[in-house]
Amino acid sequence: MGWWKSYAGDERFSSSTLTVLIGIFAVLWLLWPIKKQRKAAVPPLPPGPRGLPIVGYLPFIGTELHIKFEQLCGLYGPIYKVWFANKLCIVISSPLLVKEVVRDQDAVFSNRDVNKAILAITYGGVDIAFSPNGPNWKMLRKMFVREMLSASNLDTTFTLRREEMKSLAKAKEEGKTKTGKKDFLQVLLEIREQNNGAYSISMTQLKAVLVDIVVGASDTITTMSEWVMARLMKHSETMRKVHEELTEIVGMDNLVEESHLPKLQYLDAVIKETFRLHPPFPFLVPRTPSESRIIGGYHVPKGSSIFVNVWAIQRNSMYWDNPLEFIPERFLNDGYGRVDYSGNNFKYFPFGSGRRICAGLTLGERTLKYILASFLHSFEWKLPQGSEIDVSDTYGVVTKKKNPTVAIPTPRLSKSELYTE
**C-alpha span between 91 and 305 (Å, rounded):** 8
Q: Which is nearer to ligand HEM, 288 or 413 (CB)?
A: 288
Contact flag: residue 69 with ligand HEM (CB under 6 A): no
Q: Which is nearer to ligand HEM, 102 or 413 (CB)?
A: 102
Q: Which is nearer to ligand HEM, 208 or 255 (CB)?
A: 208
Contact flag: residue 157 with ligand HEM (CB under 6 A): no
Nearest approach in angstroms of CB 282 to ligand HEM is 9
Contact flag: residue 213 with ligand HEM (CB under 6 A): yes
Q: Among 87, 84, 92, which Cα is nearest to 46's?
A: 92
Nearest approach in angstroms of CB 371 to ligand HEM is 11
**C-alpha span between 14 and 5 (Å, rounded):** 10
Q: Which residues of 253-285 are buried (b: 16+ CB within 10 A; e: fewer)?
A: eebbebebbeebebbbbbbbbbbbbbbbbbbbe
The answer to whether 402 touches 392, Cβ cutoff 8 Å, is yes
Among 187, 233, 256, 284, binds ligand HEM (CB under 6 A): 284
**C-alpha span between 367 and 38 (Å, rounded):** 54
Contact flag: residue 352 with ligand HEM (CB under 6 A): yes
Binding segment for ligand HEM (CB under 6 A), chosen from 187-195, 266-274, 345-353, 400-408, is: 345-353
Q: Partners of 83 in the beta sheet?
A: 88
The answer to whether the annotation marks 89 as part of a ligand binding site is no
Contact flag: residue 360 with ligand HEM (CB under 6 A): yes
The kind and range of the H/E element at 87 are: strand 87-92
Nearest approach in angstroms of CB 264 to ligand HEM is 17
Q: Which is nearer to ligand HEM, 80 or 137 (CB)?
A: 137
Amino acid at 48: G
Among 356, 377, 400, 401, binds ligand HEM (CB under 6 A): 356
Binding segment for ligand HEM (CB under 6 A), chosen from 62-70, 292-300, 318-326, 352-360, is: 352-360
Contact flag: residue 133 with ligand HEM (CB under 6 A): no
Q: Among 65, 12, 366, which Cα is nearest to 221's?
A: 366
Binding segment for ligand HEM (CB under 6 A), chosen from 11-19, 53-61, 319-327, 351-359, is: 351-359
Q: Within 13 Å of residue 320, how many CA atoms lie on the same side as its CB?
A: 26
Contact flag: residue 280 with ligand HEM (CB under 6 A): yes
Q: Which is nearer to ligand HEM, 110 or 418 (CB)?
A: 110
**C-alpha span between 201 and 195 (Å, rounded):** 8
Contact flag: residue 129 with ligand HEM (CB under 6 A): yes
Among 87, 99, 103, 141, binds ligand HEM (CB under 6 A): 141
Contact flag: residue 285 with ligand HEM (CB under 6 A): yes
The kind and range of the H/E element at 183 are: none
Q: At what angle do helices 265-277 and 236-249 cross, to 10 degrees?
A: 140
Cα end-to-end span (Å), the chain: 103
The answer to whether 261 touches 374, Cβ cutoff 8 Å, is no
Among 94, 205, 220, 378, binds ligand HEM (CB under 6 A): 220
The answer to whether 73 touches 312, Cβ cutoff 8 Å, is yes
Among 91, 300, 358, 371, binds ligand HEM (CB under 6 A): 358
Q: Within 13 Å of residue 153, how many CA atoms lie on the same side as its CB?
A: 18
Nearest approach in angstroms of CB 128 to ligand HEM is 4
Nearest approach in angstroms of CB 311 to ligand HEM is 11
Nearest approach in angstroms of CB 114 to ligand HEM is 11
Binding segment for ligand HEM (CB under 6 A), chosen from 59-67, 211-219, 243-251, 314-322, is: 211-219
Q: Is 25 helix (H, G, I), strand (E, B) or coil?
A: helix
**C-alpha span between 229 and 264 (Å, rounded):** 16
Q: Among 281, 293, 311, which Cα is nearest to 107's?
A: 293
Binding-site residues: 358
Q: Which residues contribute to the site for ligand HEM (CB under 6 A)?
A: 128-129, 141, 212-213, 216-217, 220-221, 224, 280-281, 284-285, 350-354, 356-360, 363-364, 368
Binding-site residues for heme: 358
